[in-house]
Amino acid sequence: MNRTTRATHRFRGAVAGIVATVMMFGLADLIARAFTPSAAPLLTLGQAIIPLAPPAAIKPVIALFGDNDKLVLVLSTGLGAIVLAGLIGALAASRRRLATTLLIVAGLVPVVVIIGRPEADALDLVPALIGFAVGITGFILLLRLGLSAPPAEAADRADVTRGSRTSDPLSRRRFFGLAGAVGAIGAASIAAGQTIVSLTQDAGAAVAKLVLPTAAKKAAAIPAAASTDLDGTVPFVTEAKDFYRIDTVLSPPVIDPQQWSLRIHGMVDQEVTLTMDDVLDLPLEEHHITLTCVSNPVGGELVGNATWLGYPVRELLARARPSADADMVLSHSFDGFTASTPLGALTDDRAALLAVGMNGEPLTPIHGFPARLVVPGLYGFVSATKWVTELEVTRFDEKTAYWTDRGWDALAPILVASRIEVPGPLATVPAGDIQVGGTAWAQHSGIDRVDVKLDDGDWTQADLAAEVTIDTWRQWRAEFAEVAAGSHTLTVRATDKDGTVQTSKRRESIPNSATGHHHIQFRVE
Ligand SMILES: Nc1nc2c(c(=O)[nH]1)N[C@H]1C(S)=C(S)[C@@H](COP(=O)(O)O)O[C@H]1N2
Ligand SMILES: [Mo]
């Protein structure tokens, strides 16, 4: 084979590998989206990478892409698969059998990952297997058409049986025709799969099935005085659509409330199982609670405040009667995530809830529909299990949770924190009196005071908006008179009701929250 033919064959091999892979993923994705969404191969592959990724690598990705981190992961998984398929295809120019074997092995990876999931059932394999079979067949056909001079060991057979297909312009047209068709089917399948996703998620059929009862115990109305009314301050109640989202799933599980149940088991006298109807028949309570993520950087946005409707976990546990030597509840999610919460925080008088509602609506799929936990005073990773299905009563020395196994603390009470929201970072404000404001939180202790400092000046005590409960954040504001033109720095710190002053010591979020004072720079003109 001369050099030009070899180069042509490499190119065609690469094209064959790429379009066959697009078709493999596309068909499998489309079939999965229609019948068993959690088994979509690209999602499952991306999902399989998440727990393997070192926490040190996760942080920069989240910092760089924010809420798009999941999309970036899926796209890079897909891109990685395509590059690999292109390389394997190019190899077919010289080693056709080896290349075919490699593509078969690579194509089986998603199949293996799909069976490997704890929640897998046999039907989940169907989409991946169909995609695999069609994709590999496409690859083999394309190689036959496109690689007109087969490798030495297959040359005789191929030349005798299919001598005619070697005529170049015709084979070229056929090859690219078929490759185009295969690629187009793959791309169309991906698009159709995405359409199914947006239709099923927009329609919210599962969410619409759940009709919330009115609360037996309503939360007190939020007084106007809970807001400082300073323009630019984050609203006191965070709407679900603006509420931060943190979890390890690429697409939220869509759970039919009629299929959902909560099982309380482990070190208990009486195992208890509740259906959604059981939960909705209970006298539900409404509570205002601010939720925070341990990964929130100083001044960051991984914090939100909502009115939750639910039933006290304390009462649920009382039905099961935990044994005296239990000290932890390991809550399990439908998706396999777990959180370890001190039993004491779930049985004392705080409003630890099995929540089904958020701001007067059922939970949204990304915030845990149909049910999740919310525990005032603890970071989300040790308490706020979304899509919760089990409460396992156990001991800290017997079981560990998802993030504990990845280097984070088992116990994680929320640390006092505050941030500046006005002026915005690097804002330019007119000379004169400067209005400053923001939010502070120290859930389940409450905010006692907030101090702000301009440049190297003295700490100035800020005015606090009304406290709604000790479990909610608190807005603050202050005024600095006659600030001179030029560049300035503002610094804030809060003190909680236990007397703990927010430390200025800078620290990473792993293993139990970043610390330090929030600073911003702004200009006066
Ligand atoms: N099933 C499940 N629940 C979860 C998590 C998760 O990864 N999976 N993350 C937790 C973390 S780290 C936080 S901070 C909160 C965030 O809840 P939100 O996404 O509703 O804001 O959910 C918690 N519950
Ligand atoms: Mo979190």
Domain assignment of residue 46, yes or no: yes
- The end-to-end CA distance of the chain, in Å, is 74
From the CA of 296, how far away is ligand 2's center (Å)? 8
Q: pLDDT tens across 141-188, in order? A: 999 998 865 444 344 444 444 444 444 677 788 899 999 999 999 999
Q: Show which of 200, 215, 246 is a domain's final residue.
A: 200
Contact 297, 362 (CB under 8 A): no
**Number of folded domains in the chain?**
3
In whole angstroms, what is the distance from residue 331 CA to residue 345 CA? Answer: 13
- What is the CATH classification number for the domain harbouring 453? 2.60.40.650
Is residue 406 very low, low, confident or very high in pLDDT (cuts 50, 70, 90)?
confident
How many CB atoms are closer than 10 A to CB 177? 11
Domain assignment of residue 205, yes or no: no
Cα 482–Cα 488–Cα 490 angle in degrees, nearest 5: 95
**Can you give 298-333 as a three-state secondary structure string?**
CCCCCEEEEEEEEEEHHHHHHHHCECCCCCEEEEEE
- What ligand 1 atom has the least distance to the C-alpha of 379? 14
Domain assignment of residue 142, yes or no: yes
Question: Which residues, 6+ apart, have CB-to-CB distance to 195 below 8 Å?
Answer: none
- Which residue is associated with the tokens 């911003």? 520
**Percentage of the chain surpassing pLDDT 70?**
91
Phi/psi at 507 (5° precision)? -150, 150
**Percentage of the chain surpassing pLDDT 90?**
72
Are residue 156 and residue 15 in the same domain, yes or no?
yes
Are residue 65 and residue 176 in the same domain, yes or no?
yes
* In the predicted structure, residue 59 carries a pLDDT above the cut 90: no
Closest Cα to residue 306, out of 259, 371, 374, 368?
Answer: 374
In whole angstroms, what is the distance from residue 138 CA to residue 350 CA? Answer: 60
Q: For ligand 1, atom 15, name the residue with the nearest CA.
A: 380
Ligand nearest to the CA of 373: 1
Q: What is the pLDDT of residue 51?
A: 75
Residues framing ligand 1 (Cβ under 6 A): 243-248, 291, 293, 333, 335, 337, 367, 380-381, 384-387
Q: What is the mean pLDDT of residues 221-227?
A: 97
Are residue 324 and residue 439 in the same domain, yes or no?
no
Closest Cα to residue 55, out of 510, 524, 384, 376?
Answer: 510
Which tokens belong to 291?
Answer: 């939720």
Closest Cα to residue 353, out of 392, 309, 302, 414?
Answer: 309
- What ligand 1 atom has the least distance to the C-alpha of 292? 14
Check: pTM over 0.85? Answer yes or no. Answer: no
The per-residue DSSP string of 442-499 comes to -TTT-EEEEEEEETTS--EEPEEPPPS-TTS-EEEEEEEEEEPSEEEEEEEEEEETT-
Are residue 278 and residue 298 in the same domain, yes or no?
yes
Q: What is the pLDDT of residue 490?
A: 98
Is residue 197 very low, low, confident or very high in pLDDT (cuts 50, 70, 90)?
confident
Ligand nearest to the CA of 513: 2
* In the predicted structure, residue 382 carries a pLDDT above the cut 70: yes
How many CB atoms are closer than 10 A to CB 420? 23
Closest Cα to residue 497, out of 449, 439, 451?
Answer: 449
* In the predicted structure, residue 201 carries a pLDDT above the cut 70: no
From the CA of 35, how far away is ligand 2's center (Å)? 31
Q: pLDDT tens across 438-494, in order? A: 999 999 999 999 999 999 999 999 999 999 999 999 999 999 999 999 999 999 999
Are residue 385 and residue 488 in the same domain, yes or no?
no
In whole angstroms, what is the distance from residue 296 CA to residue 381 CA? Answer: 12
Q: What is the pLDDT of residue 264?
A: 98
Provide the pairing of β-strand 518-524 with 428-429: parallel
Contact 447, 441 (CB under 8 A): yes
Residue 475's DSSP bridge partners are 439
Contact 115, 125 (CB under 8 A): yes
Are residue 387 and residue 354 in the same domain, yes or no?
yes
Domain assignment of residue 214, yes or no: no
Q: What is the mean pLDDT of residues 342-356?
A: 98
Q: What is the mean pLDDT of residues 400-413?
A: 92
Domain of residue 514: give its range.
417-524
From the CA of 247, how far away is ligand 1's center (Å)? 5
Residue 311's DSSP bridge partners are 354
Are residue 43 and residue 150 in the same domain, yes or no?
yes
Q: What is the pLDDT of residue 117?
A: 74
* In the predicted structure, residue 62 carries a pLDDT above the cut 90: no
In whole angstroms, what is the distance from residue 69 CA to residue 244 CA? Answer: 13
Which tokens belong to 2?
Answer: 């001369």
The stretches of 311-408 forming alpha helices (DSSP H) are 313-320, 343-347
Domain assignment of residue 393, yes or no: yes
Which tokens belong to 120?
Answer: 């897998």
Q: What is the pLDDT of residue 153?
A: 37
* In the predicted structure, residue 248 carries a pLDDT above the cut 90: no
From the CA of 293, how far away is ligand 2's center (Å)? 4
Closest Cα to residue 319, out of 347, 359, 348?
Answer: 347
Closest Cα to residue 462, out of 521, 430, 502, 505?
Answer: 502
Are residue 40 and residue 60 in the same domain, yes or no?
yes
